[in-house]
């Protein structure tokens, strides 16, 4: 009888150890795309290997999600509407492109290594949070050229 209890105890111990062992998911790349193949579109991603300051990817992700969820709450409350958000998105993309590329249109072959600066951070967060919110409510259909992108590492 004691062997059966020990067998069950061992099985439970193995089962519990499998439950407690989970690989940590760490965000290592984050990005947003809107009309990615069009001149007036937006394409941006950043990863932890190219971030100019350690922790920027996680900080940017938290800010974008927080602002995006705030927009969704405003949609639900009726204090902000989809058309206003889309207009804000277009204006922010235009402003970002002017500050980044010197033109309202971005180059079709995107310059590698866009410099993130204090001057472009407000537009960057606005654009990415608008895309986040519009994707979450189903206005933007996620595909190769539109939507949010997340890459996680299990290390």
Phi and psi angles of residue 34, each rounded to the nearest 5 degrees, phi first: -150, 120
Q: Is the pLDDT of residue 155 over 70?
A: no
Please tell me the predicted confidence (pLDDT) of residue 101.
Answer: 85
Please give the share of the chain, as a percent, with pLDDT higher than 90.
45
**pLDDT tens by residue, 21-33:** 555 578 888 899 9
**Higher-confidence position of 70 and 36:** 70
**Separation of alpha carbons 130 and 136, rounded Å:** 10
- 29: number of Cβ within 10 Å: 18
Alpha carbon separation from 85 to 14, 53, 102 (Å, rounded): 51, 30, 24
Under DSSP, is residue 30 helix (H, G, I), strand (E, B) or coil? strand
């Amino acid at each position: 009888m004691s062997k059966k209890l020990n067998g069950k105890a061992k099985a439970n111990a193995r089962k519990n150890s499998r439950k407690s062992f989970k690989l940590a998911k760490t965000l290592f790349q984050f990005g947003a795309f809107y009309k990615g193949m069009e001149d007036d579109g937006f394409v941006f991603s950043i990863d932890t290997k190219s971030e100019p300051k350690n922790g920027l990817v996680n900080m940017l992700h938290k800010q974008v999600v927080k602002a995006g969820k705030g927009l969704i709450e405003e949609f639900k409350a009726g204090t902000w509407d989809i058309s206003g958000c889309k207009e804000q998105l277009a204006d922010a993309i235009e402003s970002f492109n002017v500050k980044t590329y010197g033109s309202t249109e971005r180059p079709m072959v995107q310059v590698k290594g866009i410099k993130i600066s204090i001057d472009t951070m407000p537009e960057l967060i606005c654009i990415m949070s608008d895309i986040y919110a519009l994707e979450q409510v189903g206005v933007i259909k996620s595909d190769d050229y539109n939507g949010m992108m997340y890459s996680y590492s299990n290390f």
